Amino acid sequence: MIPALVVFAYLSVVVYIGIFAFRKGRDSGEDYFLAGRQLGPFVFLLSLFGTNMTAFAILGSSGLSYRAGIGVYGLMASSSGFVIPLTIFFIGTRLWRLGKKYGHMTQVQYLRDRWECSFIGTLIFALTAAMLVPYIIIGVMGGGTTLEAISQYQDADGAVSSWVSYEAGGAIVAVVVMSYVFFGGMRGTAWVNTFQTLLFLCFGTVAFVLISRSLGGFDQAMERLASNPKTATLLSRERLAKEEFFSYMFIPLSSIMFPHIAIMCMTAEKVNHFKKTVVLYPLCIAAIWIPSVYLGVVAADQFPGLGKGESDDVILRMLNAHTDLWVSGILGAGIMACVMASDSQILALCTMFTEDIFAFYGGKERFGEKAQVWTGRAFVVLVTLTAYLIALQLKDKAGIFELAIRFAFSGFAALAPVMIAAMFWRRSTKWGALAAVLWVAGTLVATYVIHGQSEALAPKPGQPPVPIYPEWGRFLLRTPVNVTVFGFLPVMPMCLGSAVLVFVVSLLTPPPSAATLEKYFPSKTKA
């Protein structure tokens, strides 16, 4: 129980931070949802980075690396290190400026005003909420997986059990996250994220050093992998098809369309806070992903034969096997810090509901600002409970990495052309945005249906993809974990189709009014 007790102590600290933030807050919407737009540079950088690093980053990346090899770093981390800082710099700063000038608290508020259309805002809210829920589920799954793995023990008969079950671990994490988001709002979430980010940034380096030393050093660990025919391919890109590898370059476009990232961009006290974030963000990504991918690959030699769901806890297995109890507990708390970054997604969904639905349709005027805040808190409870119940059904059925890519990242990446058009193209229209949103919704539903129907066709790892509909040739292929289009992940045609629809439909429909265009694209003489 020692590692689990250390993690519980960490969770207690997190709850205290949320309660302390509650005591410092005020019952106003802007204070609860945006921390009064007063986050300093240090907290802004760490909370912005931390909110984007969830169970997907540590557990998901190491689990996929266990199965696919070191090429996983190239899939996401390398392109993310360039694309995410650029989107924050070019789009995040504009969101900050427009939000401060016109009082926007969510991206939906901006898009409604930019295109003079309330309906498209409601539609975008519904779609983003549906896509954000899988991301929140990932946090609950990661919490359950972490506590179950960190509390494992071996009884007298040699059977492995856990003091804390997956179900109990997920419930504990859900309650803790719900508590400090409920009380602390954005201020509590940002402070907790700052604390957690510092913790899991330190985790990667320490875990890398300690486990490598236990295995005889980095060189010996790599030599063992290379000398074993079953694991040698993990040290190359052989297990990743080039079309699939290329498809992942589109995934980082999702970052600025994630509601929690867009809303976080509006919390900075000054626009200068973005400068350090853009410079340091790639370094933070490397500090997280390099150790996670390395430990996932090395675990293939230590724990062979794990299934898709089981492989998500390989880092925790490595900690238990190669560090002592106290160190395992401390490093487990570091992993838990990353896993619990789903707090920002819950708060973002809550903010969007209260601002884009409750307040927009008259709730704030009728019941007051204090009622708006408490409505948001009630929504936090509802979302967390829903995510927990779904996470219970997904145990051992879906890998964290694949779940995130298939339903969260792909959809938000495909919505990026909508935000880019709104920000930088005067001629873009609400009809172009509507066409793109409907395209994204339709392709997500189609992907979900086809993935379920083709589950029985999925080949075993290492085997070539199988045509889902033989009469269509290689148009739709089934890999061990994904549905592909001519070998490419759905995110690529989703992004390209969205961009084409925004462009073509906007040209065919009337632009917004001159007053709106002057508001968001002022003439040089007036500026």
In a domain, 469, yes or no: no
Residues β-bridged to residue 477: 467, 484
Q: Kindly state whether residue 252 falls inside one of the protein's structural domains.
A: yes
Maximum separation of any 2 CA atoms in the chain, in Å: 82
Q: Categorize the per-residue pLDDT at 434 as very low, low, confident or very high, splitting at 50, 70 and 90.
A: very high
Distance, CA of 169 to chain centre: 20
Question: Residue 398 is encoded by which pair of tokens?
Answer: 């879906």
For 283-297, b/e burial (b = at least 16 CB within 10 A) is: ebbebbbbbbbbbbb
Most confident of 50-54, 393-397, 451-455, 464-468: 464-468
Ramachandran angles phi, psi of 152, nearest 5°: -70, 150
* Interacting residues of 349 by C-beta distance below 8 A, sequence separation 6+: 129, 132, 133, 136, 259, 379, 383
Query: Which ranges constitute the DSSP H helices of 230-368?
Result: 242-247, 259-265, 273-302, 314-322, 325-339, 343-352, 363-367
Residue 231, in any domain of the structure: yes
Average pLDDT for 303-322 = 78
Note the pLDDT of residue 524: 67
Per-residue pLDDT band at 55 (split at 50, 70, 90): low
Report the interhelical angle of 107-115 vs 410-424 (nearest 10°). Answer: 50
Whether 503 is in a domain gets the answer no
Range name among 138-147, 226-235, 350-359, 376-385 with the lowest pLDDT average: 138-147
Residue 404 scores a pLDDT above 60: no
Tell me whether residue 415 is in a domain. Answer: no
Mean pLDDT of the chain: 83
Residue 267 has pLDDT above 60, yes or no: yes
Residues in the chain: 527
Q: Is the pLDDT of residue 340 over 60?
A: yes
Predicted TM-score (pTM) of the model is 0.83
State the pLDDT confidence band at 306, using cuts at 50, 70 and 90.
confident
Task: Point out the least confidently predicted range of 55-64, 80-89, 245-254, 495-504.
Answer: 55-64
pLDDT at 47: 83
pLDDT for res 441: 92
* Residue scoring higher pLDDT (5 or 245): 245
Can you spell out the DSSP letters for 470-513? GGGTTSEEE-SS-EEETTB-THHHHHHHHHHHHHHHHHHSPPPP
157 within a domain of the structure (yes/no): yes
Say if CB 89 and CB 83 are below 8 A apart.
no
Structure-block tokens of residue 288 = 């997280």
What pLDDT is recorded for position 527? Answer: 43
Cα angle 340, 169, 384 (rounded to 5 degrees) comes to 55
Mean pLDDT for the stretch of residues 449-477: 86
Number of structural domains (the chain) is 1
- Whether 419 contacts 154, CB under 8 Å: no
What is the distance between the alpha carbons of residues 518 and 527, in angstroms, rounded to a whole number? Answer: 10
What does the pLDDT read at residue 436? 95
Which residues span the domain enclosing 250? Answer: 2-17+32-302+310-392
Mean pLDDT over 77-96 rounds to 89
Kindly state whether residue 197 falls inside one of the protein's structural domains: yes
* pLDDT tens track for 205-224: 787 888 888 888 888 888 88
Mean pLDDT of 505-514: 94
Specify if 508 maps to a domain.
no
Residue 44's CATH number:
1.20.1730.10
Distance CA 21, CA 32 (A): 10
* pLDDT for residue 1 is more than 70: no
Q: What is the pLDDT of residues 168-198, one digit of tens each?
A: 888 888 888 888 788 788 888 888 888 888 8
**For 8-16, which contacts have Cβ atoms below 8 Å and span 24 or more sequence positions?**
9/333, 10/199, 10/333, 10/336, 10/337, 11/172, 11/173, 11/176, 11/336, 13/195, 14/176, 14/180, 14/192, 14/195, 14/196, 14/340, 15/176, 15/179, 15/180
Indicate the pLDDT class of residue 514, thresholds 50, 70 and 90. Answer: very high
Read off the pLDDT band of 54 (50, 70, 90): low
More confident residue, 409 or 468: 468
What backbone phi and psi angles, to 5 degrees, belong to 261? -75, -45
